[in-house]
Homo-oligomer: A and B are copies of this chain.
Amino acid sequence: MESKKALILFSGGLDSTTVLHHALSENYECIALTIDYNQRHKFEIESSKRYLKELNIESKIFKIDLTQIGGSALTDNKIDVPVKCNDGIPITYVPARNTIFLSIASAYAEKLALENIFIGVNQIDFSGYPDCRPEYIKSFEETINLGTKLGAEDGRLIINTPLINMSKKDIIKYGCSLGIDYSLTVSCYNLDDQGRACGSCDSCEFRRHGFELAGIKDPTHYKN
């Protein structure tokens, strides 16, 4: 089965937007899959919809309410998003999120008979989430090929992680070379009701620092 179609896990953030443009630059016909997991930062769903519409990218929103489980500052409103990184895995970690997202993406890829899934995980400037590491991704790929019809029969699902070994600085430089307007992307876990970034959560910190190191003016709309 030959195919140049790809499914992109797309949140509208800096990383997944870069991944989308990377895949486009590699001549993949892209379908964006956005997971609405009833996350605190719901603004990103609206933002990603607008972005994809502007680019005329086929898109799918899959709803799964992870507040049914909770256990994270992103899926339980009673837990505040911390303003500074702590040691270890932070409270913004959502239990098994990437396994849930990748399994949904795999199901959808299988339905569409696509082989390539792209996800914007990276293990350099990241929050220490275990499901962003290459050993995890490799293992998931093995599992899903054992556990799907596509994998068990004639095909193979490939989990592409083009950013996995890139720093935030390098991702931003690469994205700019692809022509991405990062002012249209949203990274903050704690946006205000006007869609402005808090500037102090983990995700804002990595983003702001990445632009500084890249020597590129940060176009993010910060509250402060």
Spell out A's residues near B (CB within 8 Å).
Answer: 62-66, 68-71, 88-89, 93-100, 103-104, 106-108, 110-111, 130-131, 133, 135-136, 139-140, 142-144, 146-149, 151-153
B107 touches A130 (CB 8 A): no
Q: Which of B65, B70, B104 contacts A111 (CB 8 A)?
A: B70
Across the interface, which residues of B come within 8 angstroms of A96, CB to CB?
A: 103-104, 106-107, 110, 144, 147-148
A63-B68, A111-B70 as given contacts; A146 in contact with B152, CB under 8 Å: no
B130 touches A95 (CB 8 A): no
- Give me 26 A-to-B residue pairs in the complex whose CB atoms sit less than 8 angstroms apart, sorted by A's number: A62-B68, A62-B69, A69-B104, A70-B111, A71-B110, A89-B149, A94-B107, A95-B108, A96-B106, A96-B144, A97-B107, A98-B147, A99-B103, A99-B107, A99-B143, A99-B147, A100-B104, A103-B103, A130-B148, A130-B149, A130-B152, A131-B147, A136-B147, A139-B147, A140-B147, A142-B143
Across the interface, which residues of B come within 8 angstroms of A93, CB to CB?
A: 149
Across the interface, which residues of B come within 8 angstroms of A146, CB to CB?
A: 130-131, 133, 135-136, 139
